[in-house]
Amino acid sequence: MSSNERFTITVRGFDTPDTGRLLLGALQRELVKHGFARDVYIDLMGDSSDLRVTASTAHAVIIANASQWRPEFVRQITTALQLAHAGARVEFDWRSS
């Protein structure tokens, strides 16, 4: 069954803009692999006390078999970011309709 999904991914656990740019690139590559190149805004935000990379859908996207797709998507994104920087903490916020 398909559903309309909106999501935000937030990555924390780093303290330099250089590491943030590394994580931003890793997240961007993963999102492109999953076909979200045009559907997600991604940015490095914050200051030295709260740096974070965020990626948010610009609009709801239709996902076929979302209940099966979501856990694998989360696993692949999290793994890629933790490989890029071992301290990366990845949070997902989902809004389904």
Chain-centroid distance of CA 34 in Å reads 11
pLDDT in tens, 58-79: 899 999 888 899 999 999 999 9
Domain CATH number, residue 46:
3.30.70.260
| pLDDT exceeds cutoff 80 at 18 | yes
**pTM for the whole thing?**
0.93
Tell me the three state secondary structure of residue 64: coil
Asked whether 67 and 11 are in contact (CB, 8 A), the reply is no
User: How big is the chain by its Cα radius of gyration, in Å?
Assistant: 13
> What are the C-alpha distances in Å from 69 to residues 9, 12, 24, 46, 78?
16, 24, 22, 31, 14
Closest Cα partner for 21 from 47, 46, 49, 43?
43
Task: Provide the domain count of the chain.
Answer: 1
For residue 66, the model assigns a pLDDT of 86
DSSP class of 49: T
The residues with which 8 forms a beta bridge, in sequence order, are: 56, 93
Give the whole-angstrom CA distance, residue 51 versus residue 20.
Answer: 7
* Domain interval for residue 66: 3-96
